Amino acid sequence: MPKVTFSRAGITFECPPDSTVLEAAQAAGVQGLPYSCQGGTCRTCAAKGSGEMETEEMLALTPSELREGWRLPCVAFPRGDCQFEL
């Protein structure tokens, strides 16, 4: 199962294949994450991230933001270990 690390918080948790990073973080007890729509449109949850993850639903991000590493944890499905600047 992919592992997700929030580097600033110093937390690592497992993310099931059918869970978003946000859902898995909440299930792991991570508190205080910013989010609103949970649908990839409001950008509230945006954070820099790296690692293999699906990005098709990150419609609120421009191609250049995606290239710069911005990701939306509310619609991010890890396909390998990932790290976020959270």
Residues that bind ligand FES (CB under 6 A): 35-38, 40-45, 60, 72, 74
The minimum distance between CB 45 and ligand FES, in angstroms, equals 3
| Cα-based angle 31, 75, 30 (whole degrees, multiple of 5) | 10
Task: Output the six-digit token pair for 32.
Answer: 């205080």
The minimum distance between CB 51 and ligand FES, in angstroms, equals 18
Residue at token pair 């937390």: 11
The minimum distance between CB 84 and ligand FES, in angstroms, equals 12
Q: Which CB atom, from 12 or from 36, has the smaller least distance to ligand FES?
A: 36
Task: Output the six-digit token pair for 81.
Answer: 């270990």
